[in-house]
Amino acid sequence: MENFEFGGEIVWWPTPAYTENSNLSRFMQRHNLSGFDDLIRRSTHDLSWFWNAVLEDLDIEFYEPYTQVLDISQGIQWPRWCIDGKMNIVHNCLDKWQGTPTQNRVALRWEGEEGQVRLLSYGDLNREVSRVANGLRALGIGKGDAIGLFMPMTPEIAIALLAIAKIGGVILPLFSGYGAQAIATRLADAEAKALFTSDGSFRRGSVAPMKAVADEAALNAPTLKHMIVTRRTGTRISMQEGRDIWWDELVENQLYTAPTEHTEAEDRLMIIYTSGTTGRPKGAVHTHCGFPIKAAQDMYHGFDLKPADTLYWMTDMGWMMGPWQVLGTLLLGATMVLYDGAPDYPDVDRLWELVERHGITVLGVSPTLIRTLMRHGDAPVRKHDISSLRITGSTGEPWNPAPWLWFFETVCQKRLPIINYSGGTEISGGIISGNVLSPLKPCAFSGPMPGMAVDVVDDHGNSVRGQVGELVIRQPWIGMTRGFWKDTQRYLDTYWSRFENVWLHGDWAAIDEDGLWYILGRSDDTIKVAGKRLGPAEVESILVSHPAVSEAAVIGIPDELKGQAVVCFCVLKHPASASSELGDTLKDLVAAQLGKPLKPKEIRFVPDLPKTRNAKVMRRVLRSAYLGEPAGDLTALVNPEIVELIQKEAR
């Protein structure tokens, strides 16, 4: 990693059209800051001033005011925010807009793959959220109850998310492509009382089942009492009497108004699961005054989102960017777009058609998506009037230069900035980002988000510049996860065990001579497939559940399209049973339980796995051997001959 070459020349410079009326410029003027560097310095040295200023700037209303912005008396790992304050984020997303001109503004624009379009104003959304909140309360569901969301990206998923928060429940977002085991694990861990799902979803003209997957998951979710089902595809499904209820029946005869639960600012709002390198998925805990505030601040400062803007981020509600989009846009009084379907169906120009039809001004994509679309050339983009765009953004994984430049030249016309954005589920948004005040190089970030005390350090925790190091954060921020659900020690081990009182994020990063930042991939074993984080242990557990497999190790390898692909190494109980058919069976097993997007690229059968003397599997060594790279120091291994065997097969 030491030989990293930086991204070259600056290709975009801020113009007065971007800088003069930007949210960042107004914020800095209001607080007498001399420039962006001054903002970063003050926002990370005077945390209480900064986050109080953000709460005021975003006009966040409290039922009872906070007496203190930040309390770190329990340590930097356990900050408490908005002490004594009472607020429910739904009050700020919907309630406070009622009776104002914003009530009639479009809050949500939706399009389905089949061409159906629906628009909901802030008033419409408030009424529908209230009906669902009343329906949930009628089922006996209320404050503190966890409720899963396993649905397509229809308006109902946003309505359900907001209704759960409105009654003081805990939102449990689940990726719509998950298999039954992945859903069951998360429902059981969070002790979910209810699950929102659908009869199915559309994907490239075909119907993908969802209710049947939810039914299978429910068998291993003992606390689940209710399943609420939306009609999306018209597919015939089975309904379990006493547990299942159609969405239409839930809201039938319910009032269009409902009281919003007066929650504490630090009450749980959401548990979002994120995969780590070992063990079960980690449930990142988020609160009413945490995740949504950070999401809105990032949109406000990083993406310059204004009430007149229409934002579309291509995502799923099961990933952080789904709730981020819903809560952030509504807090700012802007418009969101949800699209349920494939971005290249029925033709490869579908995304640009969406931009044109809905007047999207801020568009968020992933490098994987752009790598897919650029194969079709410029013509699909040129077919459409995408002049509504003023900001583009990207997240999910590191770029490489060719797709970045294609996107910049073809879509952005060398005029629009690409706001590169990297953070995580545990962050509630971005650690580093672009912005409209700073110049851009291909693949680069301008630097830290305001409020994020970020650094790049060597193995000893010392700051480094011009070389690759670990990305760390030295101060708490309002969106910081409040720990892992029912797993305090794992939270401390994951982020706080390497350097004292410093958050280690697990990304390789670098800062060049012009002060621009780069993310270069994970420094731990976590795999990112098309922006979706996947823990090796989750795949390994599935592989060893097969009767033929005794041990398994999983790595991520570079993939031109998806960023990374999954490769699995399996030790068989009977080596003679190795076959291509068994390999295909194991691939299908993983796809069935975790979802097709996470299907392994390759299964390798090996006589053993490289292990240390304390039996730790060295995935780093496996990866190097598979890729034909130097394996490094092997003295800690009890079986270095396995590495040589894998290297020979790789040649």
Is residue 479, in this structure, part of any structural domain at all?
Answer: yes
| Pairing of β 454-457 and β 447-448 | unpaired
Which of 6-15, 203-212, 460-469, 614-623 has the least mean pLDDT?
Answer: 614-623
- CATH for 238: 3.40.50.980
Which DSSP state fits 502?
B
pLDDT at 227 over 50: yes
Please tell me the predicted confidence (pLDDT) of residue 339.
97
Nearest to 105 by CA among 288, 289, 310, 290: 310
- The SS3 of residue 358 is helix
| Same domain membership, residue 478 and residue 409 | yes
- Determine which helix (DSSP H) or strand (DSSP E) holds 21, and give its type and residue range: none
Which of 186-200, 398-412, 445-459, 600-614 has the least mean pLDDT?
Answer: 600-614
- The SS3 of residue 375 is helix
| Same domain membership, residue 237 and residue 280 | no
| Same domain membership, residue 534 and residue 500 | no
pLDDT at 209 over 90: yes
Nearest to 303 by CA among 441, 478, 395, 434: 434
| Same domain membership, residue 420 and residue 322 | yes
| Same domain membership, residue 480 and residue 548 | no
Domain count, the chain: 3
Structural domain range at position 155: 122-251
Is residue 169, in this structure, part of any structural domain at all?
Answer: yes
pLDDT digits (tens, 9 = 90+) for 250-272: 999 999 999 999 999 999 999 99
pLDDT at 6 over 70: no
Which residues does 60 contact at the CB level (< 8 Å), separation at least 6?
Answer: 87, 92, 289, 293, 331
Dihedral through CA 395, CA 397, CA 402, CA 403, nearest 10? -50
Tell me the C-alpha distance between 221 and 213, whole Å. Answer: 13
| Same domain membership, residue 496 and residue 393 | yes
Q: In the structure, what pLDDT confidence band is assigned to residue 619 with cuts at 50, 70 and 90?
A: confident
Q: In the structure, what pLDDT confidence band is assigned to residue 516 with cuts at 50, 70 and 90?
A: very high
pLDDT at 646 over 60: yes
Please return the burial class of 134, using the count of CB atoms within 10 Å of its CB with bins 0-12, 13-18 and 19+.
buried
- Domain limit, last residue, from 477, 501, 522: 522
| Same domain membership, residue 235 and residue 275 | no
| Same domain membership, residue 35 and residue 51 | yes
Q: In the structure, what pLDDT confidence band is assigned to residue 313 with cuts at 50, 70 and 90?
A: very high
Percent of the chain scored above 90 by pLDDT?
A: 78
Is residue 628, in this structure, part of any structural domain at all?
Answer: yes
Is residue 117, in this structure, part of any structural domain at all?
Answer: no
Is residue 261, in this structure, part of any structural domain at all?
Answer: no
Q: In the structure, what pLDDT confidence band is assigned to residue 650 with cuts at 50, 70 and 90?
A: low
The residue type of 473 is I
What is the helix, strand, coil percentage profile of the chain, to 5? Answer: 30, 25, 45
Rounded (5°) CA angle 225-227-228: 140
pLDDT at 631 over 80: no
- CATH for 326: 3.40.50.12780
Is residue 258, in this structure, part of any structural domain at all?
Answer: no
pLDDT at 614 over 50: no
Please return the burial class of 256, using the count of CB atoms within 10 Å of its CB with bins 0-12, 13-18 and 19+.
middle
| Pairing of β 391-394 and β 146-149 | unpaired
- 354-365 mean pLDDT: 98
pLDDT at 223 over 70: yes
- 16-31 mean pLDDT: 96
Tell me the C-alpha distance between 433 and 419, whole Å. Answer: 6
Please tell me the predicted confidence (pLDDT) of residue 279.
55
- 19-41 mean pLDDT: 96
Please return the burial class of 265, using the count of CB atoms within 10 Å of its CB with bins 0-12, 13-18 and 19+.
buried
Tell me the C-alpha distance between 588 and 584, whole Å. Answer: 6
Tell me the C-alpha distance between 4 and 642, whole Å. Answer: 29
| Same domain membership, residue 435 and residue 343 | yes
pLDDT at 277 over 70: no
Length of the chain: 651
pLDDT at 632 over 80: no
Question: Where do the DSSP E strands lie in 43-160?
Answer: 68-71, 80-83, 106-112, 117-121, 146-149
Which of 246-260, 314-328, 607-621 has the least mean pLDDT?
Answer: 607-621
Q: In the structure, what pLDDT confidence band is assigned to residue 638 with cuts at 50, 70 and 90?
A: low
Is residue 256, in this structure, part of any structural domain at all?
Answer: no
Please return the burial class of 434, using the count of CB atoms within 10 Å of its CB with bins 0-12, 13-18 and 19+.
buried
Neighbours of 140 (CB within 10 A): 11
Please tell me the predicted confidence (pLDDT) of residue 7.
57
pLDDT digits (tens, 9 = 90+) for 378-417: 999 999 999 999 999 999 877 878 889 999 999 999 999 9
Is residue 497, in this structure, part of any structural domain at all?
Answer: yes
Evaluate whether 264 touches 85 at the Cβ level (below 8 Å): yes
- 196-215 mean pLDDT: 95
Strand partners for 48: none
- CATH for 560: 3.30.300.30
Averaged pLDDT score across all residues of the chain: 93
pLDDT at 616 over 80: no
Sign of CA dihedral 266, 267, 269, 270: positive
- 466-487 mean pLDDT: 95
Which of 77-91, 157-171, 269-283, 589-603 has the least mean pLDDT?
Answer: 269-283
Query: Per the structure block, which two tokens stand in for 117?
Result: 């379009």
- Exposure b/e, 368-385, CB count within 10 A at least 16 = b: bbbbbbbeeeeebbeebe
- Exposure b/e, 300-318, CB count within 10 A at least 16 = b: bbbbbbbeebbbbbbbbbb
pLDDT at 611 over 70: yes
Tell me the C-alpha distance between 562 and 400, whole Å. Answer: 12
| Same domain membership, residue 181 and residue 85 | no
Please return the burial class of 353, using the count of CB atoms within 10 Å of its CB with bins 0-12, 13-18 and 19+.
middle
| Pairing of β 106-112 and β 226-230 | unpaired
| Same domain membership, residue 496 and residue 415 | yes
pLDDT at 3 over 50: no
Which DSSP state fits 95?
G
Evaluate whether 508 touches 519 at the Cβ level (below 8 Å): yes
- Domain limit, last residue, from 490, 522, 554: 522
| Same domain membership, residue 346 and residue 243 | no
- 471-498 mean pLDDT: 97
Neighbours of 332 (CB within 10 A): 23
253 CB-side CA count, 13 A: 2
- Domain limit, last residue, from 191, 223, 251: 251
pLDDT digits (tens, 9 = 90+) for 551-574: 888 999 999 888 899 999 999 989
